[in-house]
Amino acid sequence: MLRFLLRRVALIVPTFIGVTFLSFMLIHLVPGDPIEVRAGEHGISPARLAVLRHQYGLDQPLWKQFLDYEGQLARGDLGKSVVTQDSVWDEFTTLFPATLELSVAAILFALVIGLPLGVIAAVRRGSAYDYGLMGLSVTGASMPIFWWGLMMILIFSVFLGWTPVSGRISDLYFIQPWSGFMLIDCWWVSDAGACTSAASHLILPSIVLGTIPLATVARMTRSSMLEVLGEDYIRTARAKGLGTLRVVIVHALRNALIPVVTVLGLQVGALLGGAILTETIFSWPGVGHWLIESIQRRDYPVLQGGTLIVACLVILVNLGVDVTYGFLNPRIRR
Protein backbone atom coordinates (compact mmCIF):
# COMPACT_ATOMS: atom_id res chain seq x y z
CA MET A 1 0.00 0.00 0.00
CA LEU A 2 2.91 2.37 0.74
CA ARG A 3 4.35 1.83 -2.73
CA PHE A 4 0.93 2.50 -4.27
CA LEU A 5 0.60 5.72 -2.25
CA LEU A 6 4.11 6.96 -3.11
CA ARG A 7 3.55 6.22 -6.80
CA ARG A 8 0.36 8.29 -6.83
CA VAL A 9 1.98 11.17 -4.92
CA ALA A 10 4.98 11.15 -7.29
CA LEU A 11 2.66 11.74 -10.24
CA ILE A 12 1.64 15.09 -8.72
CA VAL A 13 5.04 16.69 -9.44
CA PRO A 14 5.05 16.40 -13.26
CA THR A 15 1.33 17.20 -13.32
CA PHE A 16 1.94 20.38 -11.31
CA ILE A 17 4.81 21.46 -13.58
CA GLY A 18 2.74 20.75 -16.69
CA VAL A 19 -0.23 22.75 -15.37
CA THR A 20 2.06 25.65 -14.44
CA PHE A 21 3.67 25.68 -17.88
CA LEU A 22 0.41 25.44 -19.82
CA SER A 23 -1.39 28.07 -17.75
CA PHE A 24 1.56 30.47 -18.07
CA MET A 25 1.93 30.04 -21.83
CA LEU A 26 -1.78 30.12 -22.68
CA ILE A 27 -2.37 33.24 -20.60
CA HIS A 28 0.49 35.06 -22.32
CA LEU A 29 -0.98 34.17 -25.72
CA VAL A 30 -4.05 36.28 -24.92
CA PRO A 31 -3.81 39.53 -26.92
CA GLY A 32 -3.39 42.74 -24.94
CA ASP A 33 -1.06 44.27 -22.40
CA PRO A 34 -2.09 44.37 -18.70
CA ILE A 35 -0.34 47.71 -18.19
CA GLU A 36 -2.18 49.35 -21.10
CA VAL A 37 -5.49 47.84 -19.92
CA ARG A 38 -4.81 49.21 -16.45
CA ALA A 39 -4.14 52.68 -17.92
CA GLY A 40 -7.60 52.70 -19.54
CA GLU A 41 -8.80 55.21 -22.09
CA HIS A 42 -6.51 58.00 -20.87
CA GLY A 43 -3.44 56.10 -21.97
CA ILE A 44 0.02 56.31 -20.49
CA SER A 45 3.28 57.91 -21.53
CA PRO A 46 5.84 55.64 -23.23
CA ALA A 47 8.36 56.30 -20.45
CA ARG A 48 5.91 55.37 -17.70
CA LEU A 49 4.80 52.33 -19.70
CA ALA A 50 8.41 51.13 -19.94
CA VAL A 51 8.91 51.60 -16.19
CA LEU A 52 5.78 49.61 -15.31
CA ARG A 53 6.58 46.85 -17.78
CA HIS A 54 10.04 46.53 -16.23
CA GLN A 55 8.53 46.54 -12.73
CA TYR A 56 6.34 43.54 -13.57
CA GLY A 57 9.00 41.83 -15.66
CA LEU A 58 6.97 42.08 -18.86
CA ASP A 59 9.95 43.42 -20.80
CA GLN A 60 11.82 40.12 -20.33
CA PRO A 61 11.77 37.21 -22.81
CA LEU A 62 8.95 34.75 -22.19
CA TRP A 63 11.28 31.96 -21.05
CA LYS A 64 12.86 34.32 -18.52
CA GLN A 65 9.43 35.36 -17.22
CA PHE A 66 8.51 31.69 -16.78
CA LEU A 67 11.69 30.88 -14.85
CA ASP A 68 11.16 33.92 -12.64
CA TYR A 69 7.58 32.82 -12.02
CA GLU A 70 8.72 29.30 -11.07
CA GLY A 71 11.22 30.78 -8.63
CA GLN A 72 8.47 32.95 -7.18
CA LEU A 73 6.24 29.90 -6.73
CA ALA A 74 9.09 28.02 -5.03
CA ARG A 75 9.07 30.77 -2.38
CA GLY A 76 5.31 30.32 -1.93
CA ASP A 77 4.51 33.68 -3.54
CA LEU A 78 1.66 33.79 -6.06
CA GLY A 79 2.23 37.48 -6.75
CA LYS A 80 0.00 40.54 -6.58
CA SER A 81 -2.83 41.66 -8.80
CA VAL A 82 -1.78 44.22 -11.40
CA VAL A 83 -5.10 46.03 -10.97
CA THR A 84 -5.82 45.94 -7.22
CA GLN A 85 -2.26 45.41 -5.91
CA ASP A 86 -3.68 42.85 -3.46
CA SER A 87 -2.14 39.44 -2.90
CA VAL A 88 -3.51 36.79 -5.26
CA TRP A 89 -3.77 34.34 -2.36
CA ASP A 90 -5.72 36.82 -0.22
CA GLU A 91 -8.16 37.54 -3.04
CA PHE A 92 -8.64 33.81 -3.69
CA THR A 93 -9.30 32.93 -0.05
CA THR A 94 -11.81 35.78 0.19
CA LEU A 95 -13.81 34.60 -2.85
CA PHE A 96 -13.40 30.82 -2.61
CA PRO A 97 -16.07 30.28 0.11
CA ALA A 98 -18.71 31.60 -2.32
CA THR A 99 -17.60 29.10 -4.98
CA LEU A 100 -17.42 26.30 -2.42
CA GLU A 101 -20.93 27.08 -1.14
CA LEU A 102 -22.29 26.98 -4.69
CA SER A 103 -20.44 23.73 -5.47
CA VAL A 104 -21.68 22.01 -2.30
CA ALA A 105 -25.26 23.06 -3.08
CA ALA A 106 -24.87 21.75 -6.63
CA ILE A 107 -23.53 18.39 -5.42
CA LEU A 108 -26.37 18.05 -2.89
CA PHE A 109 -28.88 18.81 -5.64
CA ALA A 110 -27.25 16.19 -7.88
CA LEU A 111 -27.33 13.54 -5.13
CA VAL A 112 -30.87 14.21 -3.88
CA ILE A 113 -32.30 14.01 -7.42
CA GLY A 114 -29.80 11.77 -9.20
CA LEU A 115 -29.69 8.85 -6.75
CA PRO A 116 -33.48 8.22 -6.74
CA LEU A 117 -33.61 8.60 -10.53
CA GLY A 118 -30.87 6.01 -10.97
CA VAL A 119 -32.45 3.58 -8.50
CA ILE A 120 -35.90 3.84 -10.11
CA ALA A 121 -34.42 3.37 -13.58
CA ALA A 122 -32.55 0.25 -12.44
CA VAL A 123 -35.48 -1.30 -10.60
CA ARG A 124 -37.82 -0.66 -13.58
CA ARG A 125 -35.26 -1.59 -16.20
CA GLY A 126 -36.61 -1.54 -19.76
CA SER A 127 -39.80 0.29 -18.79
CA ALA A 128 -40.99 3.71 -19.88
CA TYR A 129 -39.68 5.07 -16.57
CA ASP A 130 -36.20 3.76 -17.38
CA TYR A 131 -36.06 5.19 -20.89
CA GLY A 132 -37.66 8.47 -19.83
CA LEU A 133 -35.39 9.07 -16.84
CA MET A 134 -32.23 8.12 -18.72
CA GLY A 135 -33.32 10.27 -21.65
CA LEU A 136 -33.69 13.23 -19.30
CA SER A 137 -30.27 12.57 -17.77
CA VAL A 138 -28.60 12.45 -21.18
CA THR A 139 -30.38 15.67 -22.13
CA GLY A 140 -29.19 17.33 -18.93
CA ALA A 141 -25.60 16.29 -19.56
CA SER A 142 -25.76 17.61 -23.13
CA MET A 143 -27.03 21.12 -22.41
CA PRO A 144 -24.41 23.89 -22.41
CA ILE A 145 -24.25 25.63 -19.05
CA PHE A 146 -24.44 29.15 -20.52
CA TRP A 147 -27.64 28.28 -22.46
CA TRP A 148 -29.21 26.38 -19.56
CA GLY A 149 -28.47 29.21 -17.14
CA LEU A 150 -30.03 31.82 -19.42
CA MET A 151 -33.14 29.66 -19.92
CA MET A 152 -33.55 29.21 -16.16
CA ILE A 153 -33.26 32.97 -15.60
CA LEU A 154 -35.74 33.65 -18.39
CA ILE A 155 -38.33 31.19 -17.03
CA PHE A 156 -38.06 31.42 -13.26
CA SER A 157 -36.77 34.98 -12.79
CA VAL A 158 -38.20 36.98 -15.70
CA PHE A 159 -41.48 35.23 -16.55
CA LEU A 160 -42.47 33.72 -13.18
CA GLY A 161 -40.58 36.06 -10.84
CA TRP A 162 -39.87 33.28 -8.35
CA THR A 163 -36.13 33.73 -7.88
CA PRO A 164 -33.60 36.59 -8.02
CA VAL A 165 -31.46 37.01 -11.12
CA SER A 166 -28.01 37.59 -9.65
CA GLY A 167 -25.89 38.00 -6.53
CA ARG A 168 -25.78 36.09 -3.23
CA ILE A 169 -28.24 38.12 -1.16
CA SER A 170 -30.59 41.08 -1.51
CA ASP A 171 -29.22 44.59 -1.11
CA LEU A 172 -31.69 45.06 1.74
CA TYR A 173 -29.48 42.94 4.00
CA PHE A 174 -25.93 43.45 5.15
CA ILE A 175 -24.40 40.40 6.78
CA GLN A 176 -20.96 40.72 8.34
CA PRO A 177 -18.87 37.88 6.84
CA TRP A 178 -17.84 35.32 9.41
CA SER A 179 -17.37 32.01 7.63
CA GLY A 180 -17.65 33.24 4.05
CA PHE A 181 -20.68 30.97 3.51
CA MET A 182 -23.69 33.23 3.17
CA LEU A 183 -26.24 30.73 4.49
CA ILE A 184 -24.14 30.00 7.58
CA ASP A 185 -23.49 33.69 8.21
CA CYS A 186 -27.22 34.51 7.94
CA TRP A 187 -28.09 31.64 10.27
CA TRP A 188 -25.41 32.79 12.73
CA VAL A 189 -27.01 36.23 13.11
CA SER A 190 -30.50 34.63 13.33
CA ASP A 191 -31.95 36.75 10.53
CA ALA A 192 -34.78 34.75 8.93
CA GLY A 193 -35.27 37.27 6.12
CA ALA A 194 -31.60 37.20 5.21
CA CYS A 195 -31.58 33.37 5.27
CA THR A 196 -34.56 33.26 2.93
CA SER A 197 -32.94 35.78 0.59
CA ALA A 198 -29.62 33.89 0.54
CA ALA A 199 -31.38 30.58 -0.13
CA SER A 200 -33.47 32.05 -2.96
CA HIS A 201 -30.32 33.46 -4.60
CA LEU A 202 -28.64 30.05 -4.35
CA ILE A 203 -31.40 27.99 -5.98
CA LEU A 204 -30.95 28.73 -9.68
CA PRO A 205 -27.11 28.72 -9.77
CA SER A 206 -26.93 25.43 -7.88
CA ILE A 207 -29.48 23.80 -10.22
CA VAL A 208 -27.62 25.01 -13.31
CA LEU A 209 -24.22 23.91 -11.97
CA GLY A 210 -25.56 20.61 -10.60
CA THR A 211 -27.38 19.47 -13.76
CA ILE A 212 -24.39 17.76 -15.38
CA PRO A 213 -23.28 15.99 -12.14
CA LEU A 214 -26.93 14.98 -11.64
CA ALA A 215 -26.98 13.27 -15.03
CA THR A 216 -23.68 11.53 -14.28
CA VAL A 217 -24.84 10.35 -10.84
CA ALA A 218 -28.14 9.05 -12.26
CA ARG A 219 -26.46 7.06 -15.03
CA MET A 220 -23.74 5.68 -12.75
CA THR A 221 -26.28 4.72 -10.06
CA ARG A 222 -28.39 2.90 -12.62
CA SER A 223 -25.50 0.89 -14.07
CA SER A 224 -24.08 0.08 -10.62
CA MET A 225 -27.50 -0.92 -9.29
CA LEU A 226 -28.13 -3.21 -12.27
CA GLU A 227 -24.86 -4.99 -11.57
CA VAL A 228 -25.61 -5.38 -7.85
CA LEU A 229 -29.22 -6.49 -8.38
CA GLY A 230 -27.94 -9.49 -10.32
CA GLU A 231 -25.78 -10.76 -7.45
CA ASP A 232 -26.55 -13.97 -5.55
CA TYR A 233 -27.02 -12.28 -2.17
CA ILE A 234 -29.80 -10.12 -3.62
CA ARG A 235 -31.63 -13.21 -4.84
CA THR A 236 -31.10 -14.77 -1.42
CA ALA A 237 -32.58 -11.71 0.28
CA ARG A 238 -35.61 -11.87 -1.99
CA ALA A 239 -35.96 -15.61 -1.32
CA LYS A 240 -36.02 -14.92 2.44
CA GLY A 241 -39.12 -12.83 1.91
CA LEU A 242 -37.60 -9.39 2.49
CA GLY A 243 -39.60 -6.51 1.08
CA THR A 244 -38.59 -4.90 -2.21
CA LEU A 245 -37.82 -1.56 -0.58
CA ARG A 246 -35.53 -3.16 2.02
CA VAL A 247 -33.73 -5.23 -0.61
CA VAL A 248 -33.20 -2.25 -2.90
CA ILE A 249 -32.22 0.35 -0.29
CA VAL A 250 -30.43 -1.64 2.42
CA HIS A 251 -28.76 -4.41 0.43
CA ALA A 252 -28.40 -3.16 -3.16
CA LEU A 253 -27.94 0.59 -2.90
CA ARG A 254 -25.36 0.47 -0.11
CA ASN A 255 -23.13 -1.79 -2.21
CA ALA A 256 -23.73 0.21 -5.39
CA LEU A 257 -22.58 3.50 -3.89
CA ILE A 258 -18.81 2.91 -4.13
CA PRO A 259 -18.55 3.72 -7.88
CA VAL A 260 -20.94 6.65 -7.36
CA VAL A 261 -18.73 8.12 -4.62
CA THR A 262 -15.71 7.75 -6.90
CA VAL A 263 -17.47 9.57 -9.73
CA LEU A 264 -18.50 12.36 -7.34
CA GLY A 265 -14.88 12.94 -6.42
CA LEU A 266 -13.92 13.15 -10.07
CA GLN A 267 -16.72 15.68 -10.67
CA VAL A 268 -14.83 18.32 -8.69
CA GLY A 269 -12.96 19.44 -11.79
CA ALA A 270 -16.19 19.68 -13.77
CA LEU A 271 -17.81 21.66 -10.97
CA LEU A 272 -14.99 24.19 -10.77
CA GLY A 273 -14.94 24.52 -14.54
CA GLY A 274 -18.69 24.92 -14.70
CA ALA A 275 -18.59 27.41 -11.85
CA ILE A 276 -16.74 29.86 -14.09
CA LEU A 277 -19.67 30.05 -16.51
CA THR A 278 -22.34 29.77 -13.81
CA GLU A 279 -20.87 32.55 -11.68
CA THR A 280 -20.53 34.78 -14.73
CA ILE A 281 -24.16 34.27 -15.76
CA PHE A 282 -25.55 34.87 -12.27
CA SER A 283 -22.96 37.49 -11.19
CA TRP A 284 -22.02 35.18 -8.32
CA PRO A 285 -19.01 36.74 -6.53
CA GLY A 286 -16.79 33.68 -6.53
CA VAL A 287 -13.52 32.46 -8.01
CA GLY A 288 -15.01 31.81 -11.46
CA HIS A 289 -16.33 35.35 -11.80
CA TRP A 290 -13.00 36.65 -10.49
CA LEU A 291 -11.05 34.75 -13.17
CA ILE A 292 -13.30 35.95 -15.97
CA GLU A 293 -12.82 39.56 -14.87
CA SER A 294 -9.08 38.96 -14.72
CA ILE A 295 -9.10 37.79 -18.34
CA GLN A 296 -10.84 40.97 -19.39
CA ARG A 297 -8.29 43.05 -17.46
CA ARG A 298 -5.30 40.94 -18.61
CA ASP A 299 -4.33 40.54 -14.96
CA TYR A 300 -1.60 37.94 -15.47
CA PRO A 301 -0.72 37.24 -11.79
CA VAL A 302 -4.38 36.64 -10.89
CA LEU A 303 -4.96 34.39 -13.90
CA GLN A 304 -1.81 32.37 -13.30
CA GLY A 305 -2.25 32.10 -9.54
CA GLY A 306 -6.01 31.43 -9.64
CA THR A 307 -5.69 28.79 -12.35
CA LEU A 308 -2.84 27.12 -10.49
CA ILE A 309 -4.73 26.98 -7.18
CA VAL A 310 -7.83 25.54 -8.84
CA ALA A 311 -5.70 22.96 -10.66
CA CYS A 312 -4.00 21.99 -7.39
CA LEU A 313 -7.40 21.53 -5.70
CA VAL A 314 -8.53 19.23 -8.51
CA ILE A 315 -5.25 17.28 -8.35
CA LEU A 316 -5.50 16.83 -4.57
CA VAL A 317 -9.15 15.73 -4.71
CA ASN A 318 -8.39 13.23 -7.46
CA LEU A 319 -5.44 11.95 -5.43
CA GLY A 320 -7.69 11.52 -2.40
CA VAL A 321 -10.27 9.63 -4.45
CA ASP A 322 -7.56 7.45 -6.02
CA VAL A 323 -6.01 6.58 -2.67
CA THR A 324 -9.40 5.97 -1.03
CA TYR A 325 -10.41 3.64 -3.83
CA GLY A 326 -7.11 1.82 -3.37
CA PHE A 327 -8.04 1.20 0.26
CA LEU A 328 -11.54 0.03 -0.66
CA ASN A 329 -10.51 -2.18 -3.56
CA PRO A 330 -7.18 -4.07 -3.11
CA ARG A 331 -7.15 -4.99 -6.81
CA ILE A 332 -6.50 -1.33 -7.67
CA ARG A 333 -3.32 -1.34 -5.60
CA ARG A 334 -1.99 -4.30 -7.57
Cα 286 vs. chain centroid, distance in angstroms?
Answer: 11
pLDDT at residue number 242 = 67
Instruction: Find the range with the poorest average confidence among 111-115, 241-245, 278-282.
Output: 241-245
8 A C-beta contact, residue 102 and residue 278: yes
Q: How far apart are CA 320 and CA 135, in angstroms?
A: 32
- Provide the angle, in degrees to the nearest 10, between the axes of the packed helices 128-142 and 192-229: 120
pLDDT at residue number 33 = 66
Q: Look at residue 166 and give its three-state secondary structure.
A: coil
Phi/psi region, residue 174 (left: phi>0; alpha: psi -120 to 50; beta: rest), is beta
pLDDT digits (tens, 9 = 90+) for 139-182: 877 778 888 888 888 888 888 888 888 877 877 777 777 777 88
317: CB partners within 8 A, 6+ apart = 265, 268, 269
Work out the number of other CB atoms within 10 angstroms of the CB of residue 295: 14
Q: How far apart are CA 198 and CA 172, in angstroms?
A: 11
8 A C-beta contact, residue 131 and residue 256: no
pLDDT at residue number 27 = 77
pLDDT at residue number 41 = 54
* Average of per-residue pLDDT values in the chain: 77
Q: How far apart are CA 189 and CA 121, in angstroms?
A: 43
Domain positions in the chain are 32-77, 89-333
8 A C-beta contact, residue 129 and residue 120: yes
Task: Count the residues in the chain.
Answer: 334
% residues pLDDT > 90 (the chain): 0
Per-residue confidence at 287, pLDDT binned at 50, 70, 90?
confident
| Section 65-78 average pLDDT | 77
Query: Which CATH class name applies to 89-333?
Result: mainly alpha
Looking at per-residue confidence, does 237 or 80 come out higher?
80
pLDDT digits (tens, 9 = 90+) for 191-219: 788 888 888 888 889 888 888 888 888 88
Cα torsion 6, 10, 11, 16 to 10°: value is: 140
DSSP code string of 188-248: HTT-HHHHHHHHHHHHHHHHHHHHHHHHHHHHHHHHHHHHHHTSHHHHHHHHTT--HHHII
Per-residue confidence at 42, pLDDT binned at 50, 70, 90?
low
pLDDT at residue number 131 = 82
pLDDT at residue number 295 = 79
